[in-house]
Structure 1
Amino acid sequence: MKAFWMATAAAVLLGGCSTVPGGMETPSEAVAPTSEDARVADLLSRMSLERKVAQLIQPQINSFTAEDMRRYRFGSYLNGGNGGPYGDEFAEASEWLRLADEMYLASVAPMENGEPVIPTMWGTDAVHGHTNVVRATVFPHNIGLGATRDPDLLRRIGEATAVEIEVTGIDWNFSPTVAVARDDRWGRTYESYSEDPAIVAPLGAALVEGLQGRKGDPDRLGAGHVIGTAKHFFGDGGTDKGVDQGEVTGDIEALKKVHAAPYPAAIDAGVEAVMASFNSINGRKMHGNEALLTGVLRNELGFDGLVVGDWNGHGQVAGCTNTDCPQSLLAGLDIYMVPDEWKGLLETLVAQVNDGTIPMAKLDEAVSRVLRVKMRAGLLDEFIQPSNRPNAGDYDLLGSPEHRAIAREAVAKSQVLLKNNGVLPLRGGANILVAGTAADDIAQASGGWTLTWQGGGELDNSYFPGGTSIWSGLEAAAEENGGQAALSVDGSYSAKPDVAVVVFGEEPYAEFSGDRKHLGFSDEEGLGLLRKFKAEGVPTVAVFLSGRPMWVNRELNAADAFVASWLPGSEGAGIADVLTGSQPATGKLGFSWPATCDFGPLNGPDGALFPVGYGRSLDDTAALTMLDETCDALLAGDSSEWFVNGRFATGISASAGGTDLPNLRGIAAGVSVRGIDRNAQEDSREITFAPGSSLTIAQDGEGAGAYRIVYRVKQRPSQPVTVTTGTATVDLTQPLSVAAEKDWREMIITEQCAAGLGDSLTFTSAGPFSLDIATITREGLAEGTDCSF
């Protein structure tokens, strides 16, 4: 393949060119070896060391520019869960495509010294549709799709998702997740199809086929298809106590039978990428585990695609940092996902090849796998900028009626009916009251990984044009059946309804922010509504939104019918289809449902209220016996944690100038807060104050105990900084100056320096200042304990 001339990115964009100018040689016209191995060897022979290493570096879009791409030629890049083009995570699809063009054209600018030009590729987490992008179809999360047991449906979802990804010019999807979740306290349980690997394997393989096309098909990885990724290899769903990124222990062969079991099916389906997991297995982090990444994945299972790391996962390997980790490459990792510290890692890897720490042969092996996947995806055959590829820029395909119809079908097929005393299906002509704050909230129905990483928060229905909330779906269905529906969030009414549908459930979360200490559902909004209607003689249908099975014995007792709706996404009409009987109730549990509220995992029929495979049809009206409503875990009350793992506890909020900052993120009144990484992705916050600005973090209700804050100051304050709690104001200027440049420290605020501790903290800075916060807790300390900083 010969080097060729191409106009600069700006010139091409202005001129509207789609490929190389007429008369110039394109890759497909160049004289080059024809076999995969020969073509890869030819490219490698002409690449410099720096360009080889760059193929293994994957930064995120908010940490580099097109000029950086032109200079370093990254092999790939990604957008994080809270990353959007040009710093706007809610940017229109056209901006995503514009950035794709910009980065692509920078990657294929002419190289010096005749080096081959290797196009970059963009990877994204489209885990339940292309849900980083406004207007995209939001499909149910995997836990709901597992309840369908329908590989053909999964294949069609993959196809629709691939097309919507292509609209924005993106090449690569970090999906499907084929984790086998074995402890539902894990915050990523909803990303798993089932606790049973026999259910997970065919569904994951079907989604791979939908994304990439079937092996042997002429259009595989062509128009209408993108590169897929099976993740996270392996054991992500088997950590102790369900702790995200935690430890998995046990006999390795036994662990493989559960947690590695879905991978052969994905590999047989032709998946081109596998993502390494964050977790450790028997004390060794997967990102540095040669026995498993190479010995099992490649040698035993025969995977010949590329292995990509997860968000700074290599930095968690013993002896590694984010910018220094030869261990991962030597273990079998091909691409380092290094969101922000890419330059330091690139320079270190180059030096380590030069000094022999990393053998050139090992580097070439990894680069070869990246090139081979690009070759299979057609990226090396013809240089076409993203906006001129099939489906690109056809914005009507985002959330198209055809794709929404598939999503609606998926929602209907994923509903699992747990109880029905005869109130379902809702009769035609009925007067239906729809209650609960979640009823008209598409964001809550969609869960995490929806427009933002954690989902929910500031997102209202305006962020989902074309979507249908559960309430809207029920309203339309009621009218079609000759009845009527009314929305009453608090359950009030003037005329007694024939039936009330109560929609409630978990607030959105992602990854470690969703980890729980027990499975008791503590929010009592839905319970209160169900008991209210029961006392008033109104039959009720409970629609429970959750990312896992939970102990809801109180709600099951109070409701006349109970539906596990999981996280259905943007097409709430699919729920109405089942409740009205226009579609049958066919969903079956992919997870055991807990009978008791305790602190242990549940896998299998022992201790299950409903086993895997349970799910009633609409005509099954057998009585459900009254259930024990005792839950010691709930009686223990909430912990003293205010802000932990990047998320507020229930009842904690933040604001600046009267504007809410959900989960301590956003910009208001001179205060800017963004997520940063301490121990895990965005588990901490960087808070930037403009002169004279204030941030308040408050508890709803009365609390007790001293405040313990884990914090970091990178640069000493230039003007006074204070914290006010209750009637006391503490001057932090001097201790923060001492803490500057000393990494993470603890601040303890007690009665000794803040008499009459209140239930809020207000930080105020007279000048420009930045403070990082990892955790905020309230703790009972011995009387007389001094404040410390």
Structure 2
Amino acid sequence: MRTGFSIRAISAVLLASASLAGCATVPADTVASAPYADEDAYVASLVSRMSVERKVAQLIQPQINSFTAADMARYRFGSYLNGGNGGPYGDEFAPASEWLRLADEMYDASVQPLANGEPVIPTMWGTDAVHGHTNVVGATIFPHNVALGAANDPDLVRRIGHATAIEVEATGIDWDFSPTVAVAQDGRWGRAYESYSEDPARVAPLGAALVEGLQGRPGDADFLGDGRVIATAKHFFGDGGTTDGVDQGEVTGDIEALIALHGRPYPAAIDAGVQTVMASFNSINGAKMHGNGPLLTGVLRGRMGFDGLVVGDWNGHGQVQGCTVTNCPQSLLAGLDIYMVPDDWRGLMETLVAQVNDGTIPMARLDEAVSRVLHIKYRAGLLGPNAERPSERGVGGRFDLIGSAEHRALAREAVAASQVILRNDGVLPLRSGANVLVAGSAADNVGQASGGWTLEWQGSTEYGDDRLPNTTSIWDGLRDAVTASGGRATLSADGSFTARPAVAVVVFGEKPYAEFAGDTRDLAFRDEEGLNLLRSFREQGIPTVAVFLSGRPMWMNREMNLANAFVASWLPGSEGAGVADVLTGAVPATGRLSFGWPNDCNGGPIARTNRALFPLGYGLATGQTSAMPMLGEGCTALLEGTGTALFGSGRLADGVTVRAGDGSSFSLLRGTATDGSVTARGFDRNAQEDAREIAMRAGSQIAFVEPQGSGNAYRLTYEVLTRPTAPVTLVTGTEGGATSTLDVTQHFAHAEGKGFREMLITDACVGQLGNLFALRTASNLTFRIAGMERIEVAEGTTCAF
């Protein structure tokens, strides 16, 4: 049983008996006179007997895909994480029992006795449970923060935090990298859905509420106790204010004004007892946050009074000027306490040890950082004589709590509370007993309704019931609600029907995405499936309700002009019945915009400008109607087209498919072909998984297929890792039709080991460019791809490698 710990009060009994590998007992009389000093004394006694190597190891956080339990036993990492696409034993879709098994295995490895009386320090596991414990199959999928901001109910968010903590702890994980308290100012940012609002006055109390839900309230008996996990306020700071909404970009302006806007949620989180803060990728006035001492130390610790630990983001220290992923004392000196170094942990450990030994890093700074890590472990009950294996602490192993009926009911409540009705001519709520047609490919797709950070980092629309068990799509919810009212509901993705409906509900929206892959250059919504369905129903005189799934407000004037009602449904997650609750009037519509809704498609900040079609706080109540004037449909961005990128920033363009020779599909350019002939995995070139590493067996093929080809050349950014020993052939043309081939064996052999290069393939060289680009190899071949696009070049331009 794990008990709760107050930040400023530790059990005298626990401290009096505390010992690890010969640790001296803290005198009980000291406890009574100065309880917090006793925690300091206990931690100091451990740090004083740790070697430099063990101290540095406490500051190293690798991902589970890059080390083993044997590595843990040897190096004793202070913490570790699973990346967005990482799962136990290489299986990102592993059952909850496997997550717990790995947690126990790593814990056991971390507490093996050490020589020379050196203290044993248990490790801890961190995860991104940003809208529920959504890395795990079967977990409850809560709405993303953009939706919870529209609900604007701190108590609801607090209960969601507690439910999430229970599910996280059930799998043996100790630490949640949540909440995101970004104050997003530009919807073009691909992480906008992780922000509660553009208004810091709304973000601050909601972020604090999630902290309290995850950890419990300071001073309460269950603070950091059973069913609670360590919380993280992120990303300090300014992540939602970058120029043009570019992820990991630059934030500029008067520093006090920036702190007042983007820093405002942090004091609230600190007052709520948050134990960790994650540094941001972005720069502030030219200085990367992972190396920004005046802000990490001066503002966060000095002005705001934060006494917990600061953890880095995925290789973020490597972006600091003068640093690499394996060499960056600047971050530690600036105030970072834990380096998140997913793969290159060994090299970073070696350089940090050497830099402590040669005086580059003062021993006092090292001890300070290590002490912060140990304090958090102590407060969370992970360090001390009563510490237990993950499966034995709290609700560890209670898999019945993962995706429980109670948690799913809470998620349904949150979905209903977050729906925002923007337009309504009276068609809502749906009339009891009506014949309702439910259209759109998203209507029966929980993966699309859940968005990014769902099982996989970027999410997917291709999950089946085996990946998303016991979930309810929007169609499921509407079917049940309409039928219960005596009506009839029919699902028709393409909008066809035999019996004329009284009303059509059209569900459409953005495909899933996550950070940087979700960045857009404007707010024009180009997928016209919903637009065409609404137009078709309008032409047939059938009233419509548009249900828009998105991680941000977008320019929807065309769709709003065609719909009789328009609902911003955000990314509701696993409980689509909550959408039906509001559409049918079973639950009052109380959601109100936490971001202004744009009247143009250009992007950029909308807050405090006259560019909002609907302002912050807008939303219609159940049964309330609105004026339905025609909106302007001019959008220059639409005339510019979608560009020619087929793959870039770690993401395939919409409509592009990738298949192996056996027909296996790679929807995210990740995974393994059914016959094992081709494997594609994420690779960090300039950012997390912004490239792919593709391994092909002899006799295999991988093909990129566009919806339709445009442009007379392909440009590929690639790197060859293994020299081919047999022919490699490039194939272009049309799938199932005429093709042209080009022998590229010598080009690939020459490129081996020379880093990333560009390949230009033109019609002058291959004779025919259609919508197919494929590689076939007669020998084993491994290469990387960072970008692929279709471009126009001058007539007669030759191929280049």
- TM norm structure 1: 0.96
How far the C-alpha of 1:664 sits from its partner, in A, is 1.1
Q: 1:203 and 1:455 mapped to 2: Cα distance?
A: 25
Deviation string, structure 1 residues 656-707 (Cα, Å, up to 9, x no partner): 1222110211111411101110111001000100110000001111311311
Is 1:682 aligned to residue 689 of structure 2? yes
Q: Which residue of 1 aligns with 2:698?
A: 691
How far the C-alpha of 1:738 sits from its partner, in A, is 1.3
Q: Which residue of 2 aligns with 1:5?
A: none
Is 1:269 aligned to residue 276 of structure 2? no
How far the C-alpha of 1:26 sits from its partner, in A, is 7.1
Q: Which residue of 1 aligns with 2:7?
A: none
Q: Which residue of 2 aligns with 1:97?
A: 100
Q: Secondary structure at the match of 1:304?
A: coil
Asked if 2 retains the 8 angstrom alpha-carbon contact of 1:352 and 1:358, the reply is yes
Query: What code does the residue aligned with 1:194 have?
Result: S
Query: What code does the residue aligned with 2:495 have?
Result: G
Q: 1:397 and 1:41 mapped to 2: Cα distance?
A: 38
1:771 to 783, 792, 799: 783
Asked if 2 retains the 8 angstrom alpha-carbon contact of 1:107 and 1:118, the reply is yes
Q: Which residue of 2 aligns with 1:126?
A: 129
Is 1:782 aligned to residue 794 of structure 2? yes
1:738 to 726, 750, 756: 750
2:167 to 164, 168, 177: 164
Q: 1:204 and 1:527 mapped to 2: Cα distance?
A: 35
Q: Which residue of 2 aligns with 1:706?
A: 713
Q: Secondary structure at the match of 2:517?
A: helix
Could you list the runs of 5+ residues in structure 2 that have no partner in the other structure? 1-16, 32-37, 734-738
Q: Which residue of 1 aligns with 2:493?
A: 489
2:638 to 626, 634, 639: 634
Is 1:31 aligned to residue 25 of structure 2? yes
Q: Secondary structure at the match of 1:712?
A: strand
Q: Which shows bigger deviation, 234-243 or 711-720? A: 711-720
Query: What code does the residue aligned with 1:408 have?
Result: R
Is 1:48 aligned to residue 48 of structure 2? no
Deviation string, structure 1 residues 253-289 (Cα, Å, up to 9, x no partner): 1111111111010001010000000011111111011
Q: Which shows bigger deviation, 26-35 or 678-687? A: 26-35
Deviation string, structure 1 residues 427-451 (Cα, Å, up to 9, x no partner): 1111111111000000000000000
Query: Aligned pairs, how many?
Result: 767
Q: 1:399 and 1:29 mapped to 2: Cα distance?
A: 41
Query: What code does the residue aligned with 2:750 have?
Result: V
Asked if 1 retains the 8 angstrom alpha-carbon contact of 2:712 and 2:763, the reply is no
Is 1:148 aligned to residue 151 of structure 2? yes
Q: Which residue of 2 aligns with 1:10?
A: none
Query: What code does the residue aligned with 1:158 have?
Result: G
Query: What code does the residue aligned with 1:651 have?
Result: G
Q: 1:773 and 1:374 mapped to 2: Cα distance?
A: 41
Q: Secondary structure at the match of 2:788?
A: strand
Q: 1:29 and 1:477 mapped to 2: Cα distance?
A: 62
Any residues of structure 2 matched to 1:64-79 within 5 Å, and which? Answer: 64-79=67-82
Query: What code does the residue aligned with 2:764 have?
Result: Q
Is 1:409 aligned to residue 419 of structure 2? no
Q: Which residue of 2 aligns with 1:762?
A: 774
Asked if 2 retains the 8 angstrom alpha-carbon contact of 1:418 and 1:616, the reply is yes
Q: 2:89 and 2:466 mapped to 1: Cα distance?
A: 21
Q: 1:288 and 1:415 mapped to 2: Cα distance?
A: 40
How far the C-alpha of 1:72 sits from its partner, in A, is 0.4
Q: 2:22 and 2:403 mapped to 1: Cα distance?
A: 34
Q: 2:465 and 2:636 mapped to 1: Cα distance?
A: 37
Q: 1:785 and 1:292 mapped to 2: Cα distance?
A: 51
Query: What code does the residue aligned with 1:313 have?
Result: G
Query: What code does the residue aligned with 1:133 have?
Result: V
Any residues of structure 2 matched to 1:546-565 within 5 Å, and which? Answer: 546-565=550-569
Q: 2:585 and 2:685 mapped to 1: Cα distance?
A: 49
Any residues of structure 2 matched to 1:244-263 within 5 Å, and which? Answer: 244-263=247-266
Query: What code does the residue aligned with 2:783 have?
Result: L
Q: 1:758 and 1:475 mapped to 2: Cα distance?
A: 43
Q: Which residue of 2 aligns with 1:671?
A: 678
How far the C-alpha of 1:720 sits from its partner, in A, is 1.6
How far the C-alpha of 1:613 sits from its partner, in A, is 0.3
Deviation string, structure 1 residues 753-781 (Cα, Å, up to 9, x no partner): 21222222111111111010000011212
Is 1:115 aligned to residue 122 of structure 2? no
Is 1:423 aligned to residue 451 of structure 2? no
Query: What code does the residue aligned with 1:770 have?
Result: T
Q: 2:150 and 2:133 mapped to 1: Cα distance?
A: 21
How far the C-alpha of 1:599 sits from its partner, in A, is 4.5
Is 1:540 aligned to residue 544 of structure 2? yes
Q: Which residue of 1 aligns with 2:6?
A: none
Query: What code does the residue aligned with 1:132 have?
Result: N
Q: 1:684 and 1:458 mapped to 2: Cα distance?
A: 21
How far the C-alpha of 1:28 sits from its partner, in A, is 12
Query: What code does the residue aligned with 1:428 have?
Result: S
Q: Which residue of 2 aligns with 1:358?
A: 361
Query: What code does the residue aligned with 1:182 have?
Result: Q
How far the C-alpha of 1:191 sits from its partner, in A, is 0.2
Q: Which residue of 1 aligns with 2:10?
A: none
How far the C-alpha of 1:752 sits from its partner, in A, is 3.0
How far the C-alpha of 1:788 sits from its partner, in A, is 1.2
Q: Secondary structure at the match of 2:505?
A: strand
Query: What code does the residue aligned with 2:26 have?
Result: A
How far the C-alpha of 1:640 sits from its partner, in A, is 1.0
How far the C-alpha of 1:25 sits from its partner, in A, is 7.5
How far the C-alpha of 1:482 sits from its partner, in A, is 1.6
1:187 to 185, 190, 205: 190
Q: Secondary structure at the match of 1:674?
A: strand
Q: Which residue of 2 aligns with 1:474?
A: 478
1:239 to 238, 242, 254: 242
Q: 1:718 and 1:309 mapped to 2: Cα distance?
A: 42
Q: Secondary structure at the match of 1:100?
A: helix
Asked if 2 retains the 8 angstrom alpha-carbon contact of 1:182 and 1:237, the reply is yes
Q: Which residue of 2 aligns with 1:63?
A: 66
Q: Which shows bigger deviation, 535-544 or 69-78? A: 535-544
Could you list the runs of 5+ residues in structure 1 that have no partner in the other structure? 1-22
Query: What code does the residue aligned with 2:657 have?
Result: S
1:506 to 505, 510, 517: 510
Asked if 2 retains the 8 angstrom alpha-carbon contact of 1:132 and 1:452, the reply is yes
Q: 2:253 and 2:699 mapped to 1: Cα distance?
A: 55
Q: Secondary structure at the match of 2:355?
A: helix
Deviation string, structure 1 residues 470-526 (Cα, Å, up to 9, x no partner): 000111111221212111111111111111111000000000000001101111111
How far the C-alpha of 1:188 sits from its partner, in A, is 0.2
Deviation string, structure 1 residues 112-157 (Cα, Å, up to 9, x no partner): 1101110000000000000000110000000000001100000000
Q: 1:143 and 1:87 mapped to 2: Cα distance?
A: 31
Q: Which residue of 2 aligns with 1:11?
A: none
Is 1:282 aligned to residue 285 of structure 2? yes
Q: 2:301 and 2:232 mapped to 1: Cα distance?
A: 15
Q: 1:474 and 1:761 mapped to 2: Cα distance?
A: 42
Q: Secondary structure at the match of 1:777?
A: strand
Query: What code does the residue aligned with 2:668 have?
Result: N
Asked if 1 retains the 8 angstrom alpha-carbon contact of 2:80 and 2:126, the reply is yes
Q: Which shows bigger deviation, 562-571 or 645-654? A: 645-654
How far the C-alpha of 1:30 sits from its partner, in A, is 7.0
Asked if 2 retains the 8 angstrom alpha-carbon contact of 1:185 and 1:601, the reply is no
Q: Which residue of 2 aligns with 1:294?
A: 297
Asked if 1 retains the 8 angstrom alpha-carbon contact of 2:18 and 2:25, the reply is no
Q: 2:382 and 2:137 mapped to 1: Cα distance?
A: 27
Q: 1:460 and 1:680 mapped to 2: Cα distance?
A: 30
Is 1:570 aligned to residue 574 of structure 2? yes
Query: What code does the residue aligned with 1:395 have?
Result: F
Query: What code does the residue aligned with 2:526 have?
Result: S
Q: Secondary structure at the match of 1:522?
A: coil
Q: Which residue of 1 aligns with 2:3?
A: none
Q: 2:560 and 2:461 mapped to 1: Cα distance?
A: 28
Asked if 1 retains the 8 angstrom alpha-carbon contact of 2:100 and 2:171, the reply is yes
